[in-house]
Chains A and B, each alone.
Chain A
């Protein structure tokens, strides 16, 4: 049916469709790039045994290399890489797990020559912590090895990809849910009566609930290296719930249930209430409840992600919650504003200005907490450029700067904004809402109605659709006639588009370990350390865990700092130089350039403040990053890193 209304409505829909398609394509590419590259690798599963044994010499070339772990591990295609003396890969790829995924093996090519072979491995253990390491073995006799590990391929299996997408959707839906709710509650209460806004919030809630459920189901196969089919394994889900990430996901679900009540009240009794006193009372309850639910939801991330480990967790976790909330208020609010502008919902100038103020506060909060978290995660300028995490963070910072520039543009438009020219009466928007609800409800809706059916309902539906189309067209005309609103709409659209990308980068960041690069370093393999007489390495690492008696120095000696067996001593001293007793000290080594490690060192507590290991195996020469973690109380701990040259 070629009504003039549908005709004229089409270009707008098509235009929006194209924009959406572009955005989706962009998002898809981004997800593929950043999530694909950032396969979380390695954990608390300990490597118990290798075949062939570490540093051992075998007479005949083995058919495979096998690793036995203390618990189940998740492997990706590049989990085990075996490199010959010439640095070329000699494994056939695709390691396979057996014996309850506790044993991982990769087949080797036949006809291997004599020499020293390097095995670099990585995996994710059941507790989601990454484990990785490297060792060498010899065929026939030991030889020089010039191992330059090949570029890491993206991968991680369909489960890993889905898990990454689920995480992204959770973030985005959280931002929408909280941001649109705040927008409607604080900036634009009248908007809560409008169906498009309600749909936005309800959709966000549903998306977040679905994503959380999916993550909960995927958690098992993701952590244990199972297939997609394992997502339906109830036992696996039960096991996942016992882990901290699983518990956090469950709390998120429960908080979402509470959030549903909040949404129902906001769109129901609150939005419809006219009496200002009653509204005021409800507003208080909603405000407090909303803050609690939103804060709780945010903390389900803060308690399991980077903020919960490393230094100053007692500061970083609350700040992370703030960061997430500010992000949600800003980005979610932007989407709400964009929706209002696109649908021509005649949003008042005052509402936009109110959001502009809230947005400004959010941005300041975001930047302040973001700068703190960056310092905390990265620690040094060198790490910012030399690690994958740092590079990804640079990308994010660049995008955020762009975002803030766009926000400034939006603010200028907002300042010039006149009062809405066409006030779409509530009655019209109700018709609009009703029509779309009906249109959705009818399966046969959208067909050429003429003569098909005489039913009154059908006719009323058509009429409503026509009216809706008419209203839409008029709203669009009105909206396009308003120069300021058009300008604001464009700048907000740009903001939202950049925000979508920022969120994707952030998702990748949260699954990237500092030092484990998603980007291959161009300097890989160009180790120019001169061969000199072995000289022990002494490193003094001042630390401050933030707690009481949390300050001190970690004096680390690595002797002789060459490939092979090293002796490592850590001496923890208080600021006065006396040996200081601390509950835990951990040391690990990572050769970022060749993607080896972190190789954890099993330290033995020798005496007060004195930790040592006589068997630190560093397989290859190069500039390794040594990470020393000192825990001074149940909650206060810090990880300091330093590069050490291994000859």
Chain B
């Protein structure tokens, strides 16, 4: 049995902030997860959109992102992209002391069958489900089409 301890997410934080955490009874310190840089580029149509974020694990235990859900999309799939080979991913690892990066041209989320077309400035709530850690709910801002972080 694992004891779980939820870290409170900074509820009123900006989109880029989120919290998560967990711990286990083993000798390692628990996975300390933090979601940052999340955004959804405004899609052309209401049928699908991409989603990106970075999950940082400052704890001592590996964590695994198993799924993402949202009331806004009928289904959300995870895709890995390596050397142009795009695959539906069952899960993504968030190694201890490392991070998982979902970004343009690389790993990403596909949000299918959206309720409606999200507009820049709105926020979409995504729930990230982990193995070995409690789920994290992130308010994700919709950015204008063509938005690229740091550009």
Residues of A within 8 A of B (CB): 536, 538, 540, 553, 555, 557, 559, 567, 569, 571, 573, 577-579, 581, 604-610, 612, 614
Contact A605 B43, beta carbon cutoff 8 Å: yes
Contact A604 B84, beta carbon cutoff 8 Å: no
In the complex, what residues of B have CB within 8 A of residue A604's CB? 43-45, 47-48
| In the complex, B24 has a CB within 8 A of chain A | no
Minimum CB–CB distance for B148 against chain A, Å: 6
Give Cα A567 to B112, complex, Å. 12
Give Cα A605 to B84, complex, Å. 17
Give Cα A540 to B87, complex, Å. 14
Q: Mark B70-105, 1 if CB is under 8 A from A, else 0.
A: 000000000101001111100000000000000011
Known: A573-B105, A581-B146, A610-B50. A555 touches B86 (CB 8 A): yes
Query: Which of B48, B87, B105, B148 has most A Cβ within 10 Å?
Result: B105
| In the complex, B18 has a CB within 8 A of chain A | no
Which chain B residue lies CB-closest to A610?
B50
- A-B contacts, 14 listed (Cβ < 8 Å): A536-B87, A538-B84, A538-B85, A555-B84, A571-B81, A571-B84, A571-B86, A573-B105, A605-B43, A606-B43, A607-B108, A610-B104, A610-B108, A614-B47
Minimum CB–CB distance for B126 against chain A, Å: 16
Contact A606 B50, beta carbon cutoff 8 Å: yes
Known: A571-B81, A606-B48, A606-B49. A538 touches B105 (CB 8 A): no
Contact B85 A608, beta carbon cutoff 8 Å: no
In the complex, what residues of B have CB within 8 A of residue A606's CB? 41, 43-44, 48-50, 110
- Complex interface residues of chain B between 122 and 151 (CB less than 8 A to chain A): 145-146, 148
Minimum CB–CB distance for A156 against chain B, Å: 37
Contact B87 A559, beta carbon cutoff 8 Å: yes
In the complex, what residues of B have CB within 8 A of residue A578's CB? 105
Minimum CB–CB distance for B8 against chain A, Å: 32
Contact B84 A607, beta carbon cutoff 8 Å: no
Minimum CB–CB distance for A18 against chain B, Å: 64
Known: A577-B105, A579-B104, A606-B50. A569 touches B86 (CB 8 A): yes
Interface size class of B (residues with CB under 8 A): 20 to 34
Which chain B residue lies CB-closest to A539?
B84
Top 4 closest pairs, chain A to chain B, by CB: A555-B84, A557-B86, A579-B105, A605-B44
- Complex interface residues of chain B between 4 and 56 (CB less than 8 A to chain A): 41, 43-45, 47-50
Give Cα A363 to B45, complex, Å. 52
Contact A609 B43, beta carbon cutoff 8 Å: no
Which chain A residue lies CB-closest to B75?
A614
Which chain A residue lies CB-closest to B77?
A567
Give Cα A557 to B88, complex, Å. 10
Q: Pick the residue among B86, B87, B112 that contacts A614 (CB under 8 A).
A: B112
Contact B48 A608, beta carbon cutoff 8 Å: no
Q: Pick the residue among B45, B79, B86, B112 that contacts A538 (CB under 8 A).
A: B86
Known: A538-B86, A555-B84, A614-B48. A609 touches B105 (CB 8 A): yes
Give Cα A523 to B25, complex, Å. 65
Residues of B within 8 A of A (CB): 41, 43-45, 47-50, 79, 81, 84-88, 104-105, 108, 110, 112, 145-146, 148
Q: Pick the residue among B86, B104, B110 that contacts A609 (CB under 8 A).
A: B104
Minimum CB–CB distance for A555 against chain B, Å: 3
- Is the contact region of chain B dominated by helix, strand, or loop, or is it mixed? strand
Contact A612 B110, beta carbon cutoff 8 Å: yes
Contact B43 A540, beta carbon cutoff 8 Å: no
Query: Which of B48, B86, B104 has most A Cβ within 10 Å?
Result: B86
In the complex, what residues of B have CB within 8 A of residue A605's CB? 43-45, 145
Give Cα A540 to B48, complex, Å. 23
Known: A573-B105, A579-B104, A614-B112. A608 touches B84 (CB 8 A): no
Give Cα A489 to B41, complex, Å. 71
Which chain B residue lies CB-closest to A568?
B86
Q: A579-B105, A608-B145 are in contact. List 14 more A-B contacts (CB 8 A).
A: A557-B85, A569-B86, A571-B105, A605-B43, A605-B44, A606-B48, A606-B110, A607-B104, A608-B104, A609-B105, A610-B108, A612-B48, A614-B48, A614-B112
In the complex, what residues of A have CB within 8 A of residue B108's CB? 607, 610
Contact A553 B84, beta carbon cutoff 8 Å: yes
Minimum CB–CB distance for A334 against chain B, Å: 52
Contact B88 A559, beta carbon cutoff 8 Å: yes
Minimum CB–CB distance for A634 against chain B, Å: 18
Give Cα A553 to B41, complex, Å. 22
Give Cα A607 to B45, complex, Å. 11
Minimum CB–CB distance for B111 against chain A, Å: 9
In the complex, what residues of A have CB within 8 A of residue B44's CB? 604-606
Minimum CB–CB distance for B9 against chain A, Å: 26
Minimum CB–CB distance for B124 against chain A, Å: 14
In the complex, what residues of B have CB within 8 A of residue A536's CB? 85-87
Contact A540 B84, beta carbon cutoff 8 Å: yes
In the complex, what residues of B have CB within 8 A of residue A559's CB? 86-88
Minimum CB–CB distance for B39 against chain A, Å: 10
Give Cα A289 to B146, complex, Å. 49
Contact A608 B146, beta carbon cutoff 8 Å: yes
Minimum CB–CB distance for B117 against chain A, Å: 11
Contact A569 B79, beta carbon cutoff 8 Å: yes
In the complex, what residues of A have CB within 8 A of residue B148's CB? 579, 608
Minimum CB–CB distance for B146 against chain A, Å: 6
Minimum CB–CB distance for B84 against chain A, Å: 3
Minimum CB–CB distance for A572 against chain B, Å: 9
Give Cα A540 to B81, complex, Å. 13
Give Cα A127 to B16, complex, Å. 49
Contact B112 A607, beta carbon cutoff 8 Å: no
Give Cα A614 to B45, complex, Å. 13
Which chain A residue lies CB-closest to B104?
A579
Contact A608 B81, beta carbon cutoff 8 Å: no
In the complex, what residues of B have CB within 8 A of residue A555's CB? 84-86
In the complex, what residues of A have CB within 8 A of residue B43's CB? 604-607
Give Cα A357 to B105, complex, Å. 57
In the complex, what residues of A have CB within 8 A of residue B88's CB? 559, 567
Minimum CB–CB distance for B82 against chain A, Å: 10
In the complex, what residues of B have CB within 8 A of residue A538's CB? 84-86
Minimum CB–CB distance for B22 against chain A, Å: 31
Give Cα A614 to B47, complex, Å. 9
Give Cα A536 to B88, complex, Å. 10
Which chain B residue lies CB-closest to A537?
B85
In the complex, what residues of A have CB within 8 A of residue B47's CB? 604, 614
Minimum CB–CB distance for A533 against chain B, Å: 14
In the complex, what residues of A have CB within 8 A of residue B85's CB? 536, 538, 555, 557
Query: Which of A553, A577, A604 has most B Cβ within 10 Å?
Result: A604
Which chain B residue lies CB-closest to A569?
B86
Minimum CB–CB distance for B115 against chain A, Å: 16
Minimum CB–CB distance for A386 against chain B, Å: 26
Give Cα A577 to B84, complex, Å. 9
Minimum CB–CB distance for A632 against chain B, Å: 15
In the complex, what residues of A have CB within 8 A of residue B145's CB? 605, 607-608
In the complex, what residues of B have CB within 8 A of residue A607's CB? 41, 43, 49-50, 104, 108, 145
Minimum CB–CB distance for B2 against chain A, Å: 35
